[in-house]
Amino acid sequence: MKHKRYDVEGAVLDIPLQWNERAGKYLEQYPDFEETPVYTPEGFPLRLTCDDACPDAVLPDNIYRECGSCQLFRLHSESLLGVCGHPAHRQTTEEETL
């Protein structure tokens, strides 16, 4: 199966590409980061622009509640991938907890 490799702030992912008849092109099959979390080396979780916003979201009024609209979301160019920069969502390393 074809893959496309992304390096999102140091988190390297191989995203499978699946042929879509209707679109007439390969589409990326993104993982469910709620089910299988992935973190950058700095400990920030990856999210998709279309993921539902969490209760900690920083959103302008009257806007669709998704990560892509959150002011703490850092979009990785040319994909739906990005990083949640909320400090409370960051996973601390073992050294930091010592």
Near ligand SF4 by CB under 6 A: residue from 46, 48, 81, 86:
86
DSSP 8-state secondary structure symbol assigned to residue 97: H
DSSP 8-state secondary structure symbol assigned to residue 52: B
Q: How far apart are CA 12 and CA 15, in angstroms?
A: 10
3-state secondary structure of 61: coil
Q: Which stretch binds ligand SF4 (CB under 6 A): 10-18, 21-29, 33-41, 52-60?
A: 52-60
Is residue 53 near ligand SF4 by the rule CB under 6 A? yes
Binding site for ligand SF4 (CB under 6 A): 47, 53-54, 56-57, 67, 70, 72-73, 84, 86, 89
